[in-house]
Chains A and B, each alone.
Chain A
Amino acid sequence: MSAITRDEVAHLARLSRLALTDDELDHYATQLDAIIESVAKVAEVAAEDVPPSSHALPLTNVFRADEVRPSLTPEQALSGAPAVEDDRFRVPRILGEEA
């Protein structure tokens, strides 16, 4: 039994805004399945005394003091923007025609 179904890959592709063809879905479903199976081997050695981890370092509470530091100028901030209007980032229409 596969670890990830073709339908799940299609769902992920849609969430990620990736347009995949049927052939590509088949291709990636097979690949992702192999990847998940490989990673799943980790679970085989994870015993009760090993909690699931999301971070590589055993650190907590790394904070910064609430102090203001200089910001960019608007010119710097907007210098890489594809389009600018009124010192703001101009972005394409957010809702498509179907909305």
Chain B
Amino acid sequence: MTTTRTPRMDYDEALDRFEPVLGLETHVELGTASKMFCGCPTAFGAPPNTQVCPTCLAFPGSLPVANAKAIESTIRIGLALNCSIAEWCRFARKNYFYPDMPKNYQISQYDEPLCYDGHLDIEVDGKTVRIEIERVHLEEDTGKSTHMGGATGRIHGADYSIVDYNRAGIPLVEIVTKPIPGTDRLAPEVARAYVTELREIMRSLGVSDVRMEEGSLRCDVNVSLMPRGSSEWGTRTETKNVNSLRSVERAVRSEIERQAAILAEGGRIVQETRHFHEDTGTTTSGRSKEEAQDYRYFPEPDLLPIAPDPAWVAELKATLPELPSVRRKRLQAEWGLSDKDMEAMHNADAIDLVEATVAAGAPAADARKWWMGELARRANESGTALAGLPITPAQIARVTELVASGELNDKLAREVLEGVLAGEGSPDEVVEKRGLKIVNDEGELSAIVDQVIADNADAADKVRSGKIAAAGALVGGVMRASRGKADAARARAMILEKLGASE
């Protein structure tokens, strides 16, 4: 491993001189109960080699049979990405020598993908960017290798490896974009927005749990640069191991900065696989792809061709769920929000939470106010996602209900949220335990007002003589004396009434 420091060019300078072209390959593990070609379960995190059988271990005489649900899910993904669906296609053998597949080949698709020629529109910085989809095909996932010996735990320098085949044979969908030119300075944001949108589409289709941290959504990022004014694309690199949305953005940025420095020195980009490192946000060289690999693809003789019935495909298309971008537009209209507010909610992953809160009975404006204000602040403080806060949309709806009925004011509501987040129970329980109800008892409020008037004779006299503005100080006094539990408007009315003044 080389330890020399990689030269990089400042991002803005790099973009002044070069134009990036992106390409994204995304792998999605389908959430089927059983594997692609055998009946083994697909649970994540099972003890090693407990979800394996003669077929996925490639024992002699075993034969694969394709999982109907995986075929259906792949077609639904293709339809959601506006693809054409093949009327007839085959699986193909991809031959290679690497122990992550015990067959010495992976069953994949080659020149006959199940879905092809689609597109996905994404919103970036207020603009719509169309990402062209080259293909969506179905293959099987590989086993998990652990490299032993050597200093780094990487394959380089390892003495030997140990392999768990639980993941081998889990259905894996590969979604490949066409090259994406013209993103300019927004290249990192476009890459991130595309993967984000794909993830949401997979979720809405219910075809995968799309957990990047568990590897059920994985992204390979291709980047090349060409000098401004040129129309000839440069040599690309492919960065693997990009395991979070933020990393997608950082990997693109890092590759642009690295390639720009090399090209500016008159150097040459090596076509290779690079590995992304979460800790430094940079990539290091992996396998060179200069010598094109020969996988000796040929039609898989153990599996029969797939010929989706056009009527069935039409039915799948007609029964697709509302897609995330359509849903966002509908909700934005329903909630009466600006593009900017909606984008902020989308970026904060707050849309589902606000929708659920509205469904639980809260007005949209209130639901949005709490999730994007107080709760966003607290999530930010504790470094968790909004959805990870220990509070439910139903609980937020209950708090807004208590505010609407006059039992809480905003200040008390914040205290209630604090109590719920601290694990003190439901909003009603927190109100009860902390004694947070607004003082609605007229007698109690009247006594507090009398006391505050007596303690602030100067201000009271001013109000009596018509200086209504002085009432503010008295209202403040009532709020302090009630420890925030008085209804400020009601207190003000009572003060004016007692002092014989009117607005």
Contact call A62/B65, Cβ cutoff below 8 A: yes
B165 cross-chain contacts in A, Cβ below 8 A = 77, 89
Contact call B65/A64, Cβ cutoff below 8 A: yes
A45 cross-chain contacts in B, Cβ below 8 A = none
Q: Does B57 contact A (CB under 8 A)?
A: yes
Q: Does B306 contact A (CB under 8 A)?
A: yes
B158 cross-chain contacts in A, Cβ below 8 A = 93-95
How many A residues are at the interface, by size bracket? 35 or more
Considering the chains assembled together, what is the distance between the CA atoms of A88 and B155 in angstroms?
Answer: 17
Contact call A71/B53, Cβ cutoff below 8 A: yes
Q: Does A90 contact B (CB under 8 A)?
A: yes
Considering the chains assembled together, what is the distance between the CA atoms of A73 and B46 in angstroms?
Answer: 12
Name the contact of B49 in the complex, choosing from A66, A88, A99 (C-beta under 8 A).
A88
Give the contacts of A27-80 with B (CB-CB under 8 A). 54-55, 57, 59-74, 77-78
Considering the chains assembled together, what is the distance between the CA atoms of A15 and B298 in angstroms?
Answer: 14
A90 cross-chain contacts in B, Cβ below 8 A = 160-163
Distance in Å: Cβ of A24 to nearest Cβ of chain B: 20
Contact call B98/A94, Cβ cutoff below 8 A: yes
Considering the chains assembled together, what is the distance between the CA atoms of A69 and B57 in angstroms?
Answer: 15
Considering the chains assembled together, what is the distance between the CA atoms of A78 and B102 in angstroms?
Answer: 12
Contact call A88/B98, Cβ cutoff below 8 A: no
Considering the chains assembled together, what is the distance between the CA atoms of A88 and B69 in angstroms?
Answer: 29
B33 cross-chain contacts in A, Cβ below 8 A = 66-68
Distance in Å: Cβ of B274 to nearest Cβ of chain A: 16
Considering the chains assembled together, what is the distance between the CA atoms of A88 and B160 in angstroms?
Answer: 12
**A72 and B160 in contact, given A54-B90, A63-B68 (Cβ under 8 angstroms):** no
Contact call B34/A74, Cβ cutoff below 8 A: no
Contact call A89/B307, Cβ cutoff below 8 A: no
B95 cross-chain contacts in A, Cβ below 8 A = 15
Name the contact of B34 in the complex, choosing from A62, A68, A99 (C-beta under 8 A).
A68
Give the contacts of B272-317 with A (CB-CB under 8 A). 294, 296, 298-299, 301, 303-308
Considering the chains assembled together, what is the distance between the CA atoms of A59 and B88 in angstroms?
Answer: 12
State the interface size on chain B (CB cutoff 8 A): 55
Contact call A95/B155, Cβ cutoff below 8 A: yes
Q: Does B66 contact A (CB under 8 A)?
A: yes
B162 cross-chain contacts in A, Cβ below 8 A = 85-86, 88-91
**A65 and B68 in contact, given A86-B162, A94-B155 (Cβ under 8 angstroms):** yes
Number of A-B contacts (CB under 8 A): 127
Considering the chains assembled together, what is the distance between the CA atoms of A65 and B70 in angstroms?
Answer: 10
Contact call A94/B50, Cβ cutoff below 8 A: no
Main secondary structure of the interface of B (DSSP, over half): loop
A77 cross-chain contacts in B, Cβ below 8 A = 49, 52, 57, 165
Contact call B304/A55, Cβ cutoff below 8 A: yes
Contact call B53/A72, Cβ cutoff below 8 A: yes
Considering the chains assembled together, what is the distance between the CA atoms of A78 and B159 in angstroms?
Answer: 21
Distance in Å: Cβ of B393 to nearest Cβ of chain A: 32
Considering the chains assembled together, what is the distance between the CA atoms of A84 and B146 in angstroms?
Answer: 13
Considering the chains assembled together, what is the distance between the CA atoms of A89 and B49 in angstroms?
Answer: 9
A63 cross-chain contacts in B, Cβ below 8 A = 65-68, 71
Considering the chains assembled together, what is the distance between the CA atoms of A14 and B161 in angstroms?
Answer: 23
Distance in Å: Cβ of B161 to nearest Cβ of chain A: 5
Contact call A15/B294, Cβ cutoff below 8 A: yes
Considering the chains assembled together, what is the distance between the CA atoms of A77 and B70 in angstroms?
Answer: 25
Find the B residue at minimum CB distance from A75: B49
Q: Does B500 contact A (CB under 8 A)?
A: no
Q: Does A87 contact B (CB under 8 A)?
A: yes
Distance in Å: Cβ of A6 to nearest Cβ of chain B: 17
Contact call A71/B67, Cβ cutoff below 8 A: no
Contact call B88/A64, Cβ cutoff below 8 A: no
Q: Does B211 contact A (CB under 8 A)?
A: no
Contact call A66/B160, Cβ cutoff below 8 A: no
Contact call A91/B301, Cβ cutoff below 8 A: no
**A60 and B155 in contact, given A69-B34, A85-B162, A88-B49 (Cβ under 8 angstroms):** no
Find the A residue at minimum CB distance from B288: A99
Contact call B306/A89, Cβ cutoff below 8 A: no
Give the contacts of B9-65 with A (CB-CB under 8 A). 32-34, 38-41, 47-54, 57, 65
Q: Does B156 contact A (CB under 8 A)?
A: yes
**A93 and B159 in contact, given A60-B88, A68-B40, A72-B53 (Cβ under 8 angstroms):** yes
Sample of 6 A–B contacts (CB below 8 Å): A60-B304, A62-B303, A67-B33, A69-B53, A77-B49, A91-B160
Please report A residues at the B interface, Cβ cutoff 8 Å.
11, 15, 17, 54-55, 57, 59-74, 77-78, 85-95, 99
Given A54-B299, A94-B158, 7 more contacts at CB 8 Å? A11-B294, A54-B90, A69-B40, A78-B49, A90-B160, A91-B163, A99-B156
Closest 4 CB pairs of A and B: A69-B39, A66-B69, A54-B299, A63-B68
